[in-house]
Chains A and B, each alone.
Chain A
Amino acid sequence: MSYTKRNDGRKFDETRPIEAKAGVIKRADGSAYFKMGKTTAYAAVYGPREIHPKFLQDPKNGKLRCFYNMMPFSSMGDRVRPGANRRAKEIAMVTQKALLPVVDLTESPNSVVDVFIELPQTDAGTRCAGICAASIALADAGISMNGMVAAVSIGRVDDKLVVDLDYSEESYEDGTVADIPIAVVSGTEEISLLQMDGELSRDELKQALEMAKKACSKIDKIQRDALKKKYGVKNE
């Protein structure tokens, strides 16, 4: 068996349709909406603000805190119980690590920047959509950044490497699947998130990283356009 045609008819290197919007949550200092196919994410940024408890203060640097949450009605089938489970905590941690390389908080010592990611509707690729939304929201909040972060999941479905797995591919039953979420820093094209589950050859990983870079450069443009749209900056 071979995976010759994607379930939804996409090309192998094609992401699902993407929509991005900056400044969707008025109470937040910065916010964004990011939609990838049927996965939707909101991110809100608050801060820099005072950090509690106080012993967490770092006199040399501001802190970046990330939270990831699936809304209780967001998934197919059972309700997701509210509250951070192990999975949510791990994703929050890798999200923070994915964003840290571009965020400069040296000018806000003793403070914290909180990033809240919420998913109202999910169809795989939630951590990537969350990171994409968070990057826009951080920029929208005016946080000093030396680049943007875009993320996409590369998958190996049977014998094919594909960009941006949806749930039907993630749960493909006629062959094996590997899922590789990857975040790419704009400009340097360095990798700030890399996870994988499934089996993969060293060569396939190399290819996957190249595919992620390409897809992320497209996503980066969409993220920047969303910010330009909010601030009325015209494209050259």
Chain B
Amino acid sequence: MNNQQKDHIISFFEKGIRFDGRKKLDEYRKIKVEKGFSENAEGSARVTIGDTIVLAGVKLSVEEPYPDTPDKGTMMVNVELLPLSSPDFEPGPPAIQAIEIARVVDRGIRESGAIDTKKLCIKKEEKAWSILIDICTLNDDGNLLDASALAVVAALQDTKMPSYNGKVVDYKKKTKDSLPLNLKKMPTSCTVSKIGNHFIVDPTPEEEEKVDARLTVEVEEDGTLCALQKGGDKSLTAEDIDKMVGIGIEKSKELRKFL
């Protein structure tokens, strides 16, 4: 890591500004959520944060429930950090960064209880809807985690159930039924990064390289935390964490407007 560059970034932070012209450390770049880019997916959304672009798509299938949850449907989140979206990503099996994003996004939605998985059950022990969510990155300009989390929620909201006659799913016939979602519970994700003594949100790749520690804070509408993930090589104090959670909760109010 280039220390001079890091000092330079920090000197900007001391004035409360960012390399890309933002005038606040806790300011997101422009966010855009577009639902329904795909006809073949049961639900889809494209999220842009600054120049970061991610696509999320939902596929549904009818499967046998897991033996330990015989009356519930299932959900899976997968992230593809496509080599098309950054010179740093390579073709091949998912890298650890992709796995982390997928697991953190998965946890937020799962633990918040925003999906009523019992309503996904068609017949106990035999048939239940399985929700397969895939995130594909189109351009990595930083903060893929928050963008992915937002895209997944939007794609879930966009989802329409295909018709099912008890034997086969007819994917060509979408019904008017949505997934059993509880929007109040649906989490937003805000990753707060610490560089030097400063806390920032929505880092660019340049800033991400210099992050000492980060904390992803997933929050429900009433401020309840539903997932956390600490990252970065350095440790955090309890005061740091309290501050970062505060920023995360505050920012979640802004992010909620895009749901």
Q: CA A123 – CA B93 in complex, angstroms?
A: 26
A73 touches B82 (CB 8 A): no
B39 touches A72 (CB 8 A): no
Provided the pairs A27-B85, A46-B87, A83-B93 are in contact, do residues A73 and B40 lie with their beta carbons within 8 angstroms?
yes
The residue that A122 contacts in the complex, of B40, B53, B82, B86, with Cβ under 8 A, is B40
Q: Is A229 an interface residue (CB 8 A)?
A: no
Q: CA A72 – CA B57 in complex, angstroms?
A: 8
B82 touches A69 (CB 8 A): yes
Q: Is B14 an interface residue (CB 8 A)?
A: no
Q: Closest CB of chain A to B76's CB: distance in Å? A: 9
Q: Is B105 an interface residue (CB 8 A)?
A: no
Q: CA A28 – CA B83 in complex, angstroms?
A: 10
A73 touches B58 (CB 8 A): yes
Q: Is A42 an interface residue (CB 8 A)?
A: yes
Of residues 214 through 257 on chain B, the ones whose CB sits less than 8 Å from some CB of chain A are none
A73 touches B84 (CB 8 A): no
Provided the pairs A42-B84, A78-B61, A79-B134 are in contact, do residues A25 and B38 lie with their beta carbons within 8 angstroms?
no
User: B34-66 toward A: CB 8 Å interface, digit per residue (1/0)?
Assistant: 000111110010000001010101110100000
Interface-located stretch among A113-121, A142-150, A179-187, A214-222? A113-121
Q: Is A87 an interface residue (CB 8 A)?
A: no
Q: CA A40 – CA B36 in complex, angstroms?
A: 13
The residue that B57 contacts in the complex, of A24, A27, A73, A116, with Cβ under 8 A, is A73
The residues of A that contact B82 with a CB separation of less than 8 Å are 69, 116, 118
Q: Is B28 an interface residue (CB 8 A)?
A: no
Q: Is A57 an interface residue (CB 8 A)?
A: no
How would you classify the secondary structure of chain A's contact residues: helix, strand, loop or mixed? loop
Q: Is A34 an interface residue (CB 8 A)?
A: no
Q: Is B259 an interface residue (CB 8 A)?
A: no
Q: CA A123 – CA B41 in complex, angstroms?
A: 12
The residues of B that contact A28 with a CB separation of less than 8 Å are 84, 87, 139
B40 touches A74 (CB 8 A): yes
Provided the pairs A79-B59, A121-B37 are in contact, do residues A72 and B87 lie with their beta carbons within 8 angstroms?
no
A25 touches B80 (CB 8 A): no
The residue that A74 contacts in the complex, of B38, B58, B172, with Cβ under 8 A, is B38
Q: CA A92 – CA B86 in complex, angstroms?
A: 19
The residue that B139 contacts in the complex, of A25, A43, A72, A75, with Cβ under 8 A, is A25
B83 touches A27 (CB 8 A): no
Q: Is B171 an interface residue (CB 8 A)?
A: yes
Q: CA A78 – CA B134 in complex, angstroms?
A: 13
The 5 nearest A-B residue pairs measured at CB: A73-B57, A116-B84, A72-B134, A44-B84, A73-B41
Q: Which residues of B contact A (CB under 8 A)?
A: 37-41, 44, 51, 53, 55, 57-59, 61, 78, 80, 82-87, 91, 93-94, 132, 134, 136, 138-141, 169, 171-172
27 contacts between A and B (CB under 8 A): A26-B51, A26-B139, A27-B86, A27-B87, A27-B139, A28-B87, A31-B84, A40-B37, A44-B84, A44-B85, A67-B91, A72-B80, A73-B59, A74-B38, A76-B171, A77-B169, A79-B61, A79-B132, A82-B80, A83-B93, A118-B82, A118-B136, A120-B38, A120-B55, A120-B57, A121-B40, A121-B41
